[in-house]
Chain A
Amino acid sequence: MKTIEFKQLDETLYYKQMQNGLDVYILPKKGFSKTFVTFTTKYGSIDRTFVPIGESEQITVPDGIAHFLEHKMFEKEDGDVFQQFSESGASANAFTSFTRTAYLFSATDNIYKSTETLLNFVQEPYFTPETVEKEKGIIGQEITMYDDQADWRLYFGAIENMYHTHPVKIDIAGTIESIDKITADHLYTCYNTFYHPSNMLLFVVGNIDPTEMMAFIEQNQGKKEFSEPTKIQRHFDEEPTDVAVKERELKMDVQKPKVYVGLKAKQTDLSGEEMLKHELSVQIALESLYGRASNFYTEVYESGLIDESFAYDFSLEKGYGFALIGSDSRNPDQLAEKIKEVINNAATILTEDSIERVKRKKIGFYLRALNSMEFIANQFTRYKFNDMNLFDAVPVIEKLTLQDVVKALETIQGESQQTVFKVMPSSEQAE
C-alpha cells in the first residue's frame, strides 16, 4: 500500500492496485461519522461504438445503454439491492455521465457490510429479458421528465448545435425509441467489456482505518475470477472544429426565453498535468470575463439582460469539450451578442489583476470543496480517469500566469466555434 501526503491540506491518501487491476484509493477523515464510497467505471454514454471483449468486429449499441445498464445493476435474482443498503442504513445511488458510470453509498454504520454489498452487486450482473422489459417503462418516464425540463433541453440543444458526429450530442438516457431496442444480450456485452476491474476505480473517504479497509477490499476481490485485462477499443468518428449549427431555437411552454452561447473546444487530446493546467486556465479566463466582478456582468445585470439564472461552465474530456454561457433573458439575441463580444475581445479584457483575483477565489473554492466527501470522491475519480490529480489543483493554480490563461482561452475562441441555442416561449403562450 502506498501513501501520498498532502501536507498543506493536512490529508493522507492511501493507494493500492488489486491483482485484477482495480485501483483502490482510501482517504481517512478524522472527526466525521460518515463514510462515502464510490465504485466507478470509465464507461459512459459516449462509449457506443467499440469492439466487444474477446471479439474482433466493432459494433454500435443502442443509445442510452450505459444508463440503462446502471439501472439494471440494482436488480438481482433475489430482489432489489436498495433493500440491502437500507437495511444497513446506507443511502445508495448511481449516476451515468458522458464518460463515467458511478455506483455509490454513504453511511455512518455497517461500513464494511455496505462496501461488500457495493462491490458484489456491481460485479455480479443479472439481466433477463423480463427484467429488461420492465425497466423500459421506468426509464421511459425518466426520459419524459427530462423532455419537459426547459433547462435540460437548453443544455442539450446547445451541445447538439456544436457537434457533427461526436456522441456527446446524444442524450445520456437515449430516447424512448432507442431504449426499446435494448436487450439483455446487449447489456451483457457492454458489461463484460467495460466493467472489468482494470477499467474501474474504488474511492473510499471517511471515518475508516485505511489498512483494515484495504485488506477487506483485497480479500473481497481475491475471491472473484476475472479474465485477463485487455485494452478497450472505442471508436469515434472524425469531428470537425467548427460547430455543426450556428443558431437554432426550440419552442416550449416557458414564461421567459432562455439562451446559451456554446464555445466548442478544439484542444481535446490533453491528459495529465497539461490537461489540468489547460482546464483550470480556461475556467479562470471565463470567471474573469463573465464572473460577478466583471464589467460584462455589471453591464448585463444592470441593464436587466440577465437574471439569477445566469451561469457559465466549461467541460473537457478526451475527444470533446465546450464552454456554455447563458441565462433566462427578455432579450436573448442581444445577450448572445454581448457574450460573443466579450469572448472575441478577451485579450484586451483579461489583466494580471483580474487573473490574480480569480486565482485566489479558485484556491478558496478548492479548499472549501475539500470539506465535501462527495466532491472529493467524484472529482478525484474524474481527474484520475484523465491521469490528473485532484490534489494538484491548488499548486497548479498558484503557478498560472496571464499568458497561460490567454493561450488556453484561444482554443475556444474562434468565431466558427461559436453557437447560439434558445428556448423560446411557444406562440400560444405569448398571446
Chain B
Amino acid sequence: MFLTTKLAEGVHLHIRQTTQFKTVNFSIKWRAPLNQETAAQRAVLSNVLQHSNGKFKKSAEFRSYLDDLFGTVLYFDASKRGSEHTVLLNVETVNDQYLAHNKVFNEVLDLIHTAIFNPNFENGQFVPSIVEREKEMILHRIQSIFDDKTRYAQYRLNQIIRPNHPASISASGTLETVEQVTPESLTKAYESMINEDRIDIYVVGDIDVEAVQKKLTESLPFKDRTPKQPEQTTNESKPEREYTKEQQEMKQGKLHIGFSTPVRFGDEDYPKMQIFNGVFGGYAHSKLFMNVRERESLAYYASSSYNSMYGLVFVVSGIEPSNEKKATDVIYEQLEAIKNGEITDLELAQTKAMLINQLKESLDLARGQIEIFDQYKNLNEPFSVDTWNERWQNVTKEDVQKMAEQVKLEAVYFLCGKEA
C-alpha cells in the first residue's frame, strides 16, 4: 500500500499514490522516548514551530501565506503512543488539478522545508517572548482538562492506575515540567529532534512518486542517526488505591473503572482481546450499552475501550450519583457473564462485522491510511485487511471467555457533586 524508501539511517519515506482524494496529505513523525521532561519540551516546541519560522517571523504572515495557498492546512502537534513521544507535522493541500489557474504543490514542499529547517532563531536560539507565550498556551491546555469532567476523571484514573508510567504521562508534560522550559532547553530539544529522532515521512495523494521522492530527498536533508529505543514498558507500576472518590461542583457522577490484561498490540491473542472489548462495551450492541443503558436506564453512555499499548481496559459511564453501586454491579455482572461464556452467536458476529467495517472505513481517509500503516508496520508482516479479517473470524466464544478470565479489576474512580 505504501512504497517505503530510506532517506537516511533512521529516516523513512512512505509514499502512496492514489486518485481517491482531492488533496495531498503529508505527515512527518518524529519519535523519542517518552518522559515528563521530554513531553513538556516537545509540546512547547511543536507550538513554537507552528507559530513562526525564519522566513515568516510573525504568526500572521505565516497564516496569510497558508491562506493564499488555498487554505493549505499546516500544523504541528504532540502526541504519544506506548512509551514513545511523537512530534508530528501534518500538511494538507488541494490537488492542483482542482484549481483553475494555480499551482501550489511546489510552494507547499518549500514551505515544509522552511517550517522544519529554518526556525525563527535570535542569537542562535528560539525567541524568548515566543517561547514564553507558547509555554502559557501549553499550561492552559493542561489546566483545561479540569474543566471537562469526563476527561478529568479519565486523567485521574490514569494517574491512579499507573503512577510514574507512560500510561499516565501526558503528551504535553506537566505544569512543573512545562514551567522549566527555557529558550536554551528548547533549542536543544529542537536539535535533538531533528538529528536524533526516529523519523517517518508519509505522503498520500495523486502525485508523481518519483518526482516527490526526488524533491523530498532534497528538501528534507535529514542526517543518519541511531534512534534511542524507549525502555520496555513493564507492569511494575501498580495502582495507588483500588477505590477513589472525589468531589467537585457538578451534577452527574463520572464512573471510570480500570482493568488490566496481559494482552498487548501484536500478541497472538490481540485479535481475541479486540473481540472481547467489542462484546463487553465497544459498540451499541455490546453488553454494557444493552444493560447499563437500555435495560436499566442508568446512563446515556456506558462503554469500554481497550488500550493495547498499555494492556488496560477502561469502562466509563455518566450516572446519577446515587446509582453508583447499582451501576457498578451491572458493569461487573457483564464481565462475569462473559467469563461464564454467556456470549451469543449474534454478539460475536456483530462484533466481527463492526471491527472489519471500522478498519475498512478508516482506510477511506488519507489520515486513516497513514495511521494504520504507521501502527501496523512494526509487526514484521505486510498489513492486509484480509489477514485481520481472518484473524477475527477465527475467534471463538471460548477465546473471548478466556480473554475475560484474564481481565483483572485494578482501580475504580468516581467523580461526583459535593452533596452526593
A31 at the binding interface (Cβ < 8 Å): yes
> Are B141 and A308 within 8 A (Cβ)?
yes
A254 neighbours in B (Cβ, 8 Å): 146-147
Cβ-closest 5 pairs across A and B: A364-B71, A89-B353, A137-B297, A364-B70, A361-B71
Looking at the assembled complex, report how far the CB atom of A358 sits from the nearest CB atom of chain B, in whole angstroms.
6
> Digit string of A340-373 for contact with B (CB within 8 Å is 1, else 0)?
0000000000000000011011111101101101
The residues of B that contact A86 with a CB separation of less than 8 Å are 283-285, 350-351, 353-354
Closest to B349 in A: A87
B148 touches A307 (CB 8 A): no
Known A-B contacts: A83-B285, A298-B59, A429-B249. Give 18 more (CB < 8 A). A31-B20, A33-B363, A80-B290, A80-B294, A91-B357, A92-B284, A135-B297, A141-B300, A145-B252, A145-B300, A148-B149, A295-B60, A308-B140, A364-B70, A365-B71, A367-B94, A371-B22, A426-B249
Pairwise interchain contact A256-B366, C-beta atoms closer than 8 A: no
Residue of A89, A328, A368, A370 near B92 (CB, 8 A) is A368
Q: Which of B61-69, B113-121, B269-277 contacts A (4 or more CB under 8 A)?
A: B61-69
Q: Judge whether A298 and B144 touch: CB under 8 Å.
A: no
Q: Are B140 and A307 neighbours in the complex by a CB distance under 8 Å?
A: yes
* Contact yes or no, B285 A108, CB < 8 A: no
Q: Are A91 and B358 in contact (CB under 8 A)?
A: yes
A148 and B252 within 8 A (CB): yes
| Inter-chain contact B364/A33, CB cutoff 8 Å | yes
- Give the shortest distance, in Å, between A76 (CB) and chain B (any CB): 12
Instruction: Give A4-38 interface residues, CB cut-off 8 Å to B.
Output: 8-10, 31-34
Q: Give 25 A-B contacts (CB < 8 Å), ordered by A residue.
A: A8-B98, A8-B100, A33-B363, A82-B283, A87-B285, A87-B346, A91-B354, A91-B357, A141-B299, A142-B300, A144-B251, A144-B318, A150-B147, A254-B146, A256-B143, A292-B59, A293-B60, A294-B60, A295-B60, A309-B144, A357-B67, A360-B71, A361-B66, A362-B71, A429-B249
Q: How far is the CA of A217 from the CA of B143 in the complex (A)?
A: 51
Q: Within 8 Å CB of B71, what residues of A? A: 360-365, 368
* Distance in angstroms between the alpha carbons of A108 and B361 in the assembled complex: 7
Tell me if A245 is interfacial: C-beta within 8 Å of chain B: no
Q: Is the CB–CB distance between A145 and B293 below 8 Å?
A: no
CB neighbours of B300 from chain A (8 A): 138-139, 141-142, 145
Is the Cβ of A368 less than 8 Å from the Cβ of B22?
yes
Known: A148-B251, A148-B252. A9 touches B354 (CB 8 A): no
Which residue among A9, A82, A90 has the maximum number of chain B CB atoms within 10 Å of its CB? Answer: A82
Residue picked from A139, A292, A370, most chain B C-beta under 10 Å: A292
| A33 CB to nearest chain B CB (Å) | 5
Measured CB to CB, the closest approach of chain A to B131, in angstroms, equals: 13
Q: Does A149 contact B (CB under 8 A)?
A: yes
A307-B290 contact given A137-B297, A144-B251, A256-B143, CB 8 Å threshold: no
A151: chain B residues at CB < 8 Å are 147
**Contact between B60 and A292, CB atoms less than 8 A apart:** yes
| Chain A residues, Cβ within 8 Å of B21 | 371
Q: Are A291 and B353 in contact (CB under 8 A)?
A: no
Given known contacts A86-B285, A294-B60, A9 and B293 CB-to-CB distance under 8 angstroms: no
Alpha-carbon gap, A92 to B283, bound state (A):
10
List residues 207-259 of chain B with CB under 8 A from any CB of chain A: 248-252
* Interface size range on B against A: 35 or more
- Count A-side interface residues using an 8 Å CB cutoff: 73
Chain A contacts of B318 at CB under 8 A? 141, 144-145
Contact A371 B366 (CB under 8 A): yes
Interface residue B5 (Cβ < 8 Å from any Cβ of A): no
Across the interface, which residues of A come within 8 angstroms of B136, CB to CB?
A: 304, 307
Partner of B354, one of A89, A134, A137: A89
> Would you call A328 and B22 a contact (CB within 8 A)?
no
A89-B320 Cα distance, complex, nearest whole Å: 32
B109 at the interface (CB under 8 A from A): no
The answer to whether the Cβ of A247 comes within 8 Å of any Cβ in the partner chain is: no
Residue of B nearest to A75 (CB): B294
Does A392 have its Cβ within 8 Å of any Cβ on chain B?
no
| Partner pick for A148 among B61, B250, B361, B365, CB 8 A cutoff | B250
Inter-chain CA distance A363–B94, complex, in Å, is 10
Which residue of chain A has the shortest Cβ distance to B352 in the bound complex? A89
Give A123-158 interface residues, CB cut-off 8 Å to B: 134-142, 144-145, 147-151
Q: B137 at interface (Cβ–Cβ under 8 A)?
A: yes
A31 in contact with B18 (CB, 8 Å): yes
Contact mask B158-190 → A, CB, 8 Å, 1/0? 000000000000000000000000000000000
Please tell me if B1 contacts chain A, counting CB pairs below 8 Å. Answer: no
Q: Please provide the chain B residues from 323 to 364 with a CB less than 8 Å away from any CB of chain A in the complex.
A: 346, 349-351, 353-354, 356-358, 360-361, 363-364
A28-64 interface bits toward B, Cβ cutoff 8 Å, 1 = contact, 0 = none = 0001111000000000000000000000000000000
Which B residues lie within 8 Å of A370 (CB)?
22
Q: Do B22 and A89 touch across chains, with their CB atoms under 8 A apart? A: no
Asked whether any CB of chain A lies closer than 8 Å to the CB of B23, the reply is yes
Determine whether A302 belongs to the interface, using a CB cutoff of 8 Å to chain B: yes
Contact between B294 and A292, CB atoms less than 8 A apart: no
Question: Could you tell me the distance in whole angstroms from the C-beta of A225 to the nearest C-beta in chain B?
Answer: 31
Report chain B residues within 8 Å CB of A295. Answer: 60
Give Cα A209 to B285, complex, Å.
30
Per-residue contact bits, chain A 366-401, to B (CB 8 Å; 1 contact, 0 not): 011011010000000000000000000000000000
- Residue on A nearest B18 in the bound complex, by CB: A31
Closest to A109 in B: B357
CA distance A357 to B66 in the complex (A): 9
Contact A34 B364, CB 8 Å, known A109-B357, A256-B140, A364-B71: yes
In angstroms, Cα B357 to Cα A309, docked, is 34
The CB with the most chain A CB atoms within 10 A, among B136, B252, B290, is that of: B252
Cβ-defined contact, A255 with B67, below 8 A: no
Query: Which residues of chain B come closer than 8 Å to A109, judged between CB atoms?
Result: 353, 356-357
